[in-house]
């Protein structure tokens, strides 16, 4: 068996009995690597770059579930709106409005996650707690009929210190729990938490993740 398939199966085995879904993060990896996983029955992939995602989507099987997880510029939403299954990285209300506008053109409703800034590094994007709560509790979200907010996404600090990582994941879960108590509009449900990558996904699962985004532990190091 190919190592890529072995790696996916080993992670999925550890997820049996949980409701955590694995996303294989294939950025910077050739389409042939994705096809290997696909032919072994795996269909959920995560990509970070719009052009790369569009190119891969065009040549790979049409029943792949594509998750966009990278920073998304408003002017590029139109390229992925026809087919993307999930956008994890919504970091402004303006972006949500643009996703709504583009999804409407294809009569689609695009599931989205609100990305929250939980790490210590400023380089990582995401909403502050105040911004998150303002979007969830504002009147404007209800008017976006072509987006379905399904929960939150976060990235922990890049550190070896497990205590810091665990605290950050707990904070995201706690924001999720708080947002769940709000009277949310019909197009917003707190259902999914996207947290955990190659180095920290077991901690994330422990702290309540429902989507883990694993790249290098499946496909090998990126260059």
Does residue 44 bind ligand PLP (CB under 6 A)?
A: no
Candidates 197, 203, 204, 205: give the one binding ligand PLP (CB under 6 A).
197
Burial class (CB in 10 A: 0-12, 13-18, 19+), 61: exposed
Residue reference for tokens 């294989």: 24
Tell me the three state secondary structure of residue 2.
Answer: coil
Question: Which of 70, 190 has the CB closer to ligand PLP?
Answer: 70
Does residue 214 bind ligand PLP (CB under 6 A)?
A: yes
- Give whole-number Cα distances, 136 to 148, 151, 186, in Å: 12, 10, 11
Residues 59-98 as x/- pattern, contact with ligand PLP by CB under 6 A: ----------xx----------------------------
Cα separation, 223 vs 220, whole angstroms? 10
User: Is the CB of residue 188 less than 8 Å from the CB of residue 141?
Assistant: yes
Binding window for ligand PLP (CB under 6 A); candidates: 7-15, 91-99, 127-135, 215-223: 215-223
Binding window for ligand PLP (CB under 6 A); candidates: 58-66, 99-107, 165-173, 192-200: 192-200
Residues 144-163 as x/- pattern, contact with ligand PLP by CB under 6 A: -----------x--------
Question: Which of 43, 101 has the CB closer to ligand PLP?
Answer: 43
User: Is the CB of residue 91 less than 8 Å from the CB of residue 115?
Assistant: yes
Candidates 7, 26, 48, 187: give the one binding ligand PLP (CB under 6 A).
48
Instruction: Tell me which residue has its CB nearest to ligand PLP.
Output: 215
Residue reference for tokens 């579930």: 65
Give the list of residues 6+ apart from residue 29 with CB closer than 8 angstroms, or none: 219, 222
Question: Which of 77, 214 has the CB closer to ligand PLP?
Answer: 214
Question: Where is 22: in which H helix or E strand?
Answer: strand 21-25
Binding site for ligand PLP (CB under 6 A): 25, 27, 48, 69-70, 155, 197-199, 213-217
């Amino acid at each position: 068996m190919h190592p890529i398939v072995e790696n996916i199966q080993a992670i999925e085995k550890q997820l049996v009995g949980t409701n955590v879904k694995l996303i294989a993060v294939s950025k910077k990896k050739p389409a042939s690597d994705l096809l290997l996983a696909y032919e072994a029955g795996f269909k959920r992939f995560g990509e970070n770059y719009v052009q790369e995602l569009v190119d891969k989507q065009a040549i790979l099987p049409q029943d792949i579930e594509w998750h966009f997880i990278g920073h998304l510029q408003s002017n590029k939403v139109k390229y992925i709106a026809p087919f993307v299954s999930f956008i994890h990285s919504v970091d402004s209300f303006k972006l949500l409005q643009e996703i709504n506008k583009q999804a409407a053109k294809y009569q689609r409703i695009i599931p989205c996650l609100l990305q929250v800034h939980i790490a210590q590094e400023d380089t990582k994007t995401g909403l502050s707690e105040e911004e998150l709560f303002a979007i969830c509790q504002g009147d404007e979200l209800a008017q976006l009929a072509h987006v379905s907010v399904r929960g939150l996404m976060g990235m922990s600090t890049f550190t070896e210190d497990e205590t810091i990582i665990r605290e950050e994941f707990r904070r995201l879960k706690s924001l999720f729990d708080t947002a769940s108590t709000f009277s949310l509009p019909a197009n917003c449900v707190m259902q999914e938490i996207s947290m955990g990558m190659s180095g920290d996904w077991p901690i994330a699962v422990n702290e309540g993740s429902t989507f883990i985004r694993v790249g290098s532990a499946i496909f090998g190091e990126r260059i």
